[in-house]
Amino acid sequence: MHVSVVIPCYRSAKTLPDLTARLNAVLPTATESYEVVLVVDGSPDDTWEVARGLAVLNENVRAIRLARNYGQSNALIAGIRAAKHEVIVTMDDDLQHPPEEVPKLLAALTDDLDLVYGLAKEEEHGVGRSLASRIVKRGLSGVVGVNNANVLSAFRAFRSFLVGGFDQVNGPHVSVDVALSWATTRVGATTVHMDERAVGRSNYTFGTLVKHALNLVMGYSTKPLRLVTIFGGLVGVAGFALFVRVLWLYFDQETTVAGFTTVAAMVAVFSAAQMIAIGVLGEYIGRIHTHGMGRPTYVVREAVSGSGRANVVRPAVAPANGLTDPAVFHG
């Protein structure tokens, strides 16, 4: 097995030397070859100088510096796209994900699985952070439609062909887990030990994670638009009932205000018509939005050339816009 370990780095100058040293000690026992990809996400401290120095001194370490701070998910995708090996492991830079647990993650990636998440034996965050994390997972599962959302974790191992599933994904609000869910349903989890954060404190707060959940719902789901259509239908039913009620009062001569019947009926009918029209328009906008997500039509697991060798350098992926996206195969 050949493994790429991708680590987004931000304000982690103090932890990177220990992190890479521990990875260099444990990975040779679990892999044939490996690389450690450090993606420095516009960190304002000397994280880049430390990462660059580690890459110069160690042939198994690569350092990538982003032009500015793009956020952890974006930095993670940059590192994943730069990874060279057949299995990709992602982990945090704060030593909460112990390098010694990586072999356990790799062992859980059996032939019948494409993606494995590492779940903490005990909750490693506070009450607020844990609650926010559950909100995000609930949103991924119920609204966005991500299977196995309850086992999501930043400590994960997956096969590199899954990267083809989000070749077309762009923009500032990307989600690695949503993109991976587009490419495979063969997902598992294994229990791992998590350590306390070694240095500093997490930049993720309750508010930040709730905002992240809202970005996921708005960015990867058309269900909010569909709710408008449903609401429009309910308003239409209520409007029709009100219309019948007003007519009944009119013919029963209980209406004493001139023109009330006409005005009330028009308001009820046209309110329903407007809501339904907005809902239908939302459905069309939702379809445009779905095409803009970059969700692939399919992802190729492997291909065999005429010589019988299966050596896929870049997995084939059909983009959501239906255009041809050539894959590179070496036979």
pLDDT of residue 183: 84
pLDDT of residue 72: 86
The answer to whether 156 and 117 are in contact (CB under 8 A) is: yes
Which of 82-86, 120-124, 278-282, 317-321 has the lowest average pLDDT? 317-321
The sign of the dihedral angle between the CA atoms of 252, 253, 257, 260 is positive
- Regarding predicted confidence, which is higher, 318 or 69? 69
Cα dihedral 132, 137, 142, 147 in deg (nearest 10): 180
Q: Give me the mean pLDDT over the 178-195 stretch.
A: 86
Strand (E) or helix (H) holding 308: none
Q: Give me the mean pLDDT over the 31-55 stretch.
A: 93
Q: Would you identify the CATH topology of the domain 2-220?
A: Spore Coat Polysaccharide Biosynthesis Protein SpsA; Chain A (3.90.550)
- Whether 55 has a pLDDT exceeding 90, the answer reads yes
pLDDT of residue 171: 67
pLDDT of residue 244: 79
Q: Give me the mean pLDDT over the 96-110 stretch.
A: 94
DSSP assigned state of 141: I
Rounded CA-CA distance 331/324 in Å is 21
pLDDT cut 90: percent of the chain above it: 32
Can you give the pTM of this predicted structure? Answer: 0.69
Of 107, 94, 73, 104, whose CA–CA distance to 15 is shortest? Answer: 94
- What residues have CB less than 8 Å from 241, skipping those under 6 apart? none
Cα dihedral 294, 300, 302, 305 in deg (nearest 10): -110
Tell me the three state secondary structure of residue 187: strand
Which of 123-132, 150-159, 224-233 has the lowest average pLDDT? 123-132
Domain spans, the chain: 2-220, 223-292
